[in-house]
A = this chain, B = another copy of it.
Amino acid sequence: MSISKSQLKIITSLSQKKYRQKHNLFIAEGVKVVNELINSNFIIDTLFCVDDFISDVSVDKIVVVSEVDLKKISNLKTPNKVLGLFQIPDEISIQNNGLIVVLDSLNDPGNLGTIIRLCDWFGVRQLICSKDTVDCFNQKVVQASMGSLTRVSVKYIDLESYLEAVHLPTFIADMDGENVYQTKLPKEAILVMGNEANGVSKKIIELVKNKISIPRFGQIQKTESLNVATATAVLLSEFKRSF
């Protein structure tokens, strides 16, 4: 079999959010990530795979393709046996318990993917993003999250309304915040991380009282702030280490 023109057109279009929304589909690639999605609640639309990709997916959803055809549709440097189209799941309601991570205007897909993976590791089930945060079904995010997207629920909403309404202690990661190592952190809480260049936006900072920071140990004050993904790693570790 080969890839039809209409299939090729759809696959290509899915690099753009508006077409992902129109077709209600997103792309995942590679044996590992695709298998994690297959074995989750995500619904398979079509798998385009070379003939030695083994799965027990029903045959009508599989299109066996040549290495050459797979390379045509792949966004990876080295395509890895399979490209899958999956349905974007229905939105589920926010779970306001446990530890929740909120992202304000995150731009970089690699950072979002890494943070989804961190949430998964540290048992955070709910990730809440401002509407202008990079889309979690962007293919770079899907690849960087390594399948963790199947275990972390990501919701895009208006952060101001959400933070005004929610009844959980809320902490903003902020360079001028209190030393996190000296802060008593509750088990149930919201952690707000900001944009790569500008941090958390002013209107959100005004809403939230608690600010925490990771102290700089390097002697020279020039050190650039930590990358948002590595800062999230340290802060999630601090929230979870005592429980």
Contact = CB atoms under 8 A, between A and B. Distances in A.
Contacts of A240: 217
A157 B222 CA distance: 29
Contact of A230 (B219, B223, B233): B233
A146 to B, nearest CB: 4
A216 B233 CA distance: 12
A122 interface: yes
Interface residues of A, number: 34
Contacts of A120: 218, 223-224
Interface string A126-139: 00000000000000
Given A123-B219, A233-B234, A234-B233, A118 B224 contact: no
A230 B36 contact: no
A45 B144 CA distance: 37
A167 to B, nearest CB: 23
Given A233-B226, A234-B233, A220 B146 contact: no
B151 A230 contact: no
Given A121-B217, A147-B222, A148-B223, 20 more contacts: A36-B222, A114-B227, A114-B230, A117-B224, A117-B227, A117-B230, A118-B226, A120-B218, A120-B223, A120-B224, A121-B214, A121-B216, A121-B223, A147-B224, A148-B224, A151-B220, A226-B233, A229-B230, A233-B233, A237-B238
